[in-house]
Structure 1
Amino acid sequence: MPSPLDQKYEAVLAALSGPGGRIVIDQDEQGRSFVANFPQTLPMFFGMFAQLYGPNDFVISGDERLTYAEFDALSTKAAQGLVAMGIEKGDRVGIAMRNCTAWVVAYAAIAKAGGVATLINGWWRHEELAHAIELTEPKAVICDHPRARLIEKLGTDTKVVDADIDQPITQALADLMGADEGTALPEVQPEDDATILFTSGSTGKAKGALSTHRQVVQGAYIYVVSLMTLRGILESEGNPVPEQMRALVSVPLFHVTGQTPVMLTSYVINRALVLMPKWDVELAMQLIQDEKVTVFTGVPTMALELMAHPKKDEYDLSSLGDINSGGAPRPAAHLKRQKDDLPGTRSIQGYGLTETNAVGCGNIWDNYLAKPTSTGAPQKPFVKVAILDDEGNHLPAGQTGEVAIQAPATIKGYFRDPEATAEAYTDDHYFRTGDVGYLDEEDYLFIVDRKKSIIIRGGENIASAEVEQALYEHPAVVECVVLPRKNERLGEVPIAVVLCKGECTPHDLEAHCASKLAAFKVPEEFIMADAPLPRLGTGKIDRVTLQKQYGE
């Protein structure tokens, strides 16, 4: 039976999307529900909501503030600069910066110029970056100074726009601000390519998840409808919501979470972005107090640090309402602790993928407390979740299989990888997630395992194969396997079991990995084996045995 909260949600959603409601829902040619009365391209998206909220703050970054109107005008100016530089419709344009005002402006500018915003992981090292550039061949990359130096060392033909992000936005993007005001921008269609985000697969090589404008904006609108529904519930219970909200942006904008449920969703609902250059719990508390932050989205680690900080009571955190988490489940004990340590706050757990533009399931407020091990129910009425057996058949409630998602926001495909794209989709347009789980009788999803060798460290995906490949490049390594180990703070961390020849120490292996991989991918522990690793009858390394021996 639906919970009381689920029943309220259904009632408010029906009023929002019914006759005379603010949301018009239609169905596409594949029978998927989508929001039909909002703009279907990013240029129209940025223009329309700037008109609605023009004088309100949209970006707050240190001492710099941009209103919606200022942001829209500056991103249009930067888009004209990209066109004057030679960017044509369909060209890939990379963004390689830490969170800053210039990142947000560059994203909108690329969309308005008809480019494909290619979101480069700011933590990547040389080899990871080289692969992304080689795969997508961006005509230009807008970078901060550290990333500009890394890309220049690759020796490619890609033009580097080096932004001094510590300066005001007009100076930071000065190279894009000199175009003639009459420079024409292309007409963008909903089915034109809009973004490429990178995802680690079981092979370890990052794949480019390609989305159209329609898919990206629908991802945002699905979250918008959920938030409008929750707002309606709060108001019906006598809990008014501030006219303009504030979102603390602690997750990287190059991640799908930063792009969709945080940045783009905020733009629609009149929610200002309070940017953090990197996560720092005391800075977060200062910003929550000073900017009256109303919502905070982060990995479970961040919420725990906020609750447990010894100086927490020195800051006024009373404006904070929802604490949203994703990337890894929060332990049930954390949820109970939050009620005591951060009274007045509510918890939401999200489940989505880069390939779904972050949409999927949500476990909300009291429902999350009641079912803390669930990722929640599909985001109605836009998302359908199926559990598939090995032949692709849909399984009934309670049976375990591969989780598959159907939604209007799922990606067009993997860039220049038609085989992986074909493997990812079923004939009835469900995306295969690679996760293993089941649905209960109330349609709540429970994840129990992953089919792919992916480790989720504090919300960051790590492909075991990629770390193993880096280890095998060390001349002393004979055999290795990279496994997940449970961690109270980060959810999981990678560890490596390694058989070496000659003299080789864990410190040697750590330094070797650090030279080739982003820091979050480097194993937390290197276990030096003194005999060949156990193998299955097929000749493959027996990961299950090693996981039981070392990972648990």
Structure 2
Amino acid sequence: MDAATAAITAPGGQLAVGKAAVRGVEYPAFEQAPPSLREYLAFFLASNADKEFIVYQGERFTFADVQKQAVQVAAVLQSRFGIAKGDRVAIAMRNYPEWVSAFIGAIMVGAVVVPMNAWWKPEELAYGLTDSGTRLVFADEERLRRIREIPDLSVEVLTVRTSHQVAAQLGATTLDDAIAAAPPAPWYLPPIYPEDDATIMYTSGSTGAPKGAVSTHRAIVSGSMNYLVQGLAMLQLAQASGTVLPPQQVMLLNVPLFHITGLVPILLVSIAIGRKLVIMYRWDAGEALQLIEREKATYFVGVPTMSLELMQHPDRDKYDLSTLLDIAAGGAPRPAEHVGRLAEAFPGKTPAIGYGLTETNGVGAGNIRDNYRLRPDSTGRATKPMVDLAILSDDLELLGAGEVGEVCIRSVANVRGYWNKPEATASAFTPDGWFRTGDLGRLDEDGYLTIVDRKKDIIIRGGENISAAEVEAAIYGHPAVAEASVFGLPDDRLGEIVGAVVYPKGGEPLEGEAIIQFLARDLAAFKVPARVWVSEQPLPKLGSGKIDKVSLRAHFREVHLGRAAA
């Protein structure tokens, strides 16, 4: 891999790497990178025009079909809604084919795209739309209904997969109608420069409300191309080993496009390499096995839960999975013992794991194939050529091999900061370009990263980041709650689930189930605690007067596992 990568990125190579100064820091950068995501998309969509691109249930679209609709979307945004360069345009829908054309069309006219979490409830959508200053939203029917529940929100909505009657009732325009009434193409395309904003993607951290990570065009293009280098290197190794490659790579798409994994390493890289995406309406292991066989899928990626369910499915051996080459995971740690089990359950299919964050455009580290089997507890090495990994102390001092500290990532693919949150930006991004991930880890002598804990107070449930502070704030909205603490509980299937302990106000009766039902009204389902304990005593405190979350988490994890009494 190292030799192939070096050849590809050497001067005169396919993707030669030089240097670029960004915000006062010099980084490795691709010399011939497209100046913007618009040029990246236009070039690769045209290059792969005749290939099949998206399969969704009975619908099939070529790259040319998607590009044609994207141009129509761009015309609608410009001529009907007056969307101009820098305006924020949100996408709030499931993984539908229109998600892709909406994204490409908005990028075409220079808009900043805001992918919204499709599982958010109205209150959460209201926060994201208001915080980003979104002018227009692409929404499917379910998200349209939620948006219209938001009081005092004035935002235009273009809706897909929605009847004309429902759209009219809810004050929205169907995308089909808008396209029919618009010119065939935009009349003007503004210049887009590498440091212009391209996307705002909301991510949950330790401070409560999600933060909008703002990526520039240079960053998102660089992140995509960094994945391309890895793909080209693996292709060369496969060819050298005599592996017969299919005429087209086919990926089963079962992670949300509104996540960084769905957007960069899946969607944007697929456009570059001409890879077909087979969209699942919702995750179902049995249906996934059927689709792998029917569509001759070569690549599978999802949160670790999904590959575990594939492996354990009782009908697994009934399907022809011979085309499948790689079973990748990201978004959450995969238990080390699952790596060997996957390799045994799927002979000839190789497991892989990736580590990246919204703030790094998904790039960071990766562990693949035999390297992964030999080090199943590691998330791998820094992905070259863009990424530098370091373990830093609280004082930002570089730590040596084997020492545990904060995992920090530096690359030209890092986002420029958080939308309208200068203090959060200054806290997370150092002046010399390091992003502080909030994860604790160590590097071995060979540069392999192992994550050992989390410094920031988040819970990762099946790949979804959940801010414990956000859930605590929602719990305190219950009139009977005096104190609350939220933490992650171990779970074999999802990695973690949300747990909470509350102390009621004096004399007020309270049950855990009442808290769960209360939270379900306003929080996305994945944020709602699976278990809530009610304490008869005030929660333990530190000397500072803060609730002692560390001891509570340790105790209730033991309770959850049946090793202690509540």
Q: Normalized against structure 2, the TM-score is what?
A: 0.93
Q: How far apart, CA to CA, are the structure 2 residues paired with 1:173 and 1:319? A: 37
Out of 540, 549, 555, the position equivalent to 1:543 is 549
Q: Which has the larger displacement, 28-37 or 84-93?
A: 28-37
Q: How far apart, CA to CA, are the structure 2 residues paired with 1:158 and 1:51? A: 33
Match of 1:133 in 2: 129
- 1:332 to partner: Cα distance: 2.0
Q: How far apart, CA to CA, are the structure 2 residues paired with 1:340 and 1:388? A: 37
Match of 2:276 in 1: 272
- Superposed CA deviations along residues 257-289 of structure 1, whole A, max 9, x for unmatched, are 100111101111111111112211112111111
Match of 1:4 in 2: none
- 1:165 to partner: Cα distance: 6.2
Match of 1:63 in 2: 58
Question: Is structure 2 residue 499 aligned with structure 1 residue 495?
Answer: yes
Q: Which has the larger displacement, 276-285 or 83-92?
A: 276-285
Partner SS state of residue 216, structure 1: helix
Instruction: Kindly indicate whether the alpha-carbon contact (under 8 Å) linking 2:33 and 2:222 is maintained by their aligned counterparts in 1.
Output: no
Match of 2:564 in 1: none
Percent of matched pairs sharing the same residue: 45
Match of 1:529 in 2: 535
Question: Is structure 2 residue 420 aligned with structure 1 residue 416?
Answer: yes
Match of 1:5 in 2: none
Q: Which has the larger displacement, 40-49 or 376-385?
A: 40-49
Q: How far apart, CA to CA, are the structure 1 residues paired with 2:11 and 2:194? A: 26
Q: How far apart, CA to CA, are the structure 2 residues paired with 1:171 and 1:92? A: 19
Q: Normalized against structure 1, the TM-score is what?
A: 0.96
Q: How far apart, CA to CA, are the structure 1 residues paired with 2:180 and 2:277? A: 23
Distance 1:191 1:166, change over 3 A: farther
- 1:211 to partner: Cα distance: 0.7
Unaligned 5+ segments in structure 2 are 165-172, 559-566
Q: How far apart, CA to CA, are the structure 2 residues paired with 1:360 and 1:483? A: 26
Q: How does 1:24-35 map to 2 (within 5 A)?
A: 24-29=16-21, 30-35=25-30
Please tell me the residue identity of whatever aligns with 1:157. S
Q: How far apart, CA to CA, are the structure 1 residues paired with 2:215 and 2:6? A: 29
Instruction: Kindly indicate whether the alpha-carbon contact (under 8 Å) linking 2:158 and 2:175 is maintained by their aligned counterparts in 1.
Output: no
Match of 2:563 in 1: none
- Superposed CA deviations along residues 97-146 of structure 1, whole A, max 9, x for unmatched, are 00010101101011001101001100011221111111011110010011
Question: How many residues get paired?
Answer: 542
Question: Is structure 2 residue 181 aligned with structure 1 residue 181?
Answer: no
Question: Is structure 2 residue 456 aligned with structure 1 residue 452?
Answer: yes
- 1:463 to partner: Cα distance: 0.7
Q: How far apart, CA to CA, are the structure 2 residues paired with 1:212 and 1:32? A: 15
Question: Is structure 2 residue 164 aligned with structure 1 residue 161?
Answer: no
Q: How does 1:389-408 map to 2 (within 5 A)?
A: 389-408=393-412
- 1:304 to partner: Cα distance: 0.3
Out of 294, 297, 313, the position equivalent to 1:293 is 297
Unaligned 5+ segments in structure 1 are 1-8
Please tell me the residue identity of whatever aligns with 1:13. T
Match of 1:337 in 2: 341
- 1:401 to partner: Cα distance: 1.1
Q: How does 1:287-366 map to 2 (within 5 A)?
A: 287-366=291-370
Structure 1 stretches of at least 4 aligned residues deviating more than 6 Å after TM superposition: none
Please tell me the residue identity of whatever aligns with 1:103. W
Q: How far apart, CA to CA, are the structure 2 residues paired with 1:177 and 1:13? A: 47
Out of 1, 15, 26, the position equivalent to 2:7 is 15
Please tell me the residue identity of whatever aligns with 1:143. A
Cα RMSD of the aligned pairs, angstroms, is 1.6
Distance 1:272 1:166, change over 3 A: farther
Q: How far apart, CA to CA, are the structure 2 residues paired with 1:82 and 1:374? A: 45
Instruction: Kindly indicate whether the alpha-carbon contact (under 8 Å) linking 1:483 and 1:551 is maintained by their aligned counterparts in 2.
Output: no
Q: How does 1:461-480 map to 2 (within 5 A)?
A: 461-480=465-484
Please tell me the residue identity of whatever aligns with 1:75. A
- Superposed CA deviations along residues 313-357 of structure 1, whole A, max 9, x for unmatched, are 222111111111112221122111112221111111100000000
Instruction: Kindly indicate whether the alpha-carbon contact (under 8 Å) linking 2:49 and 2:64 is maintained by their aligned counterparts in 1.
Output: yes
Question: Is structure 2 residue 90 aligned with structure 1 residue 87?
Answer: no
Please tell me the residue identity of whatever aligns with 1:58. F
Question: Is structure 2 residue 221 aligned with structure 1 residue 209?
Answer: no
Please tell me the residue identity of whatever aligns with 2:548. D
- 1:177 to partner: Cα distance: 4.7
Question: Is structure 2 residue 99 aligned with structure 1 residue 103?
Answer: yes
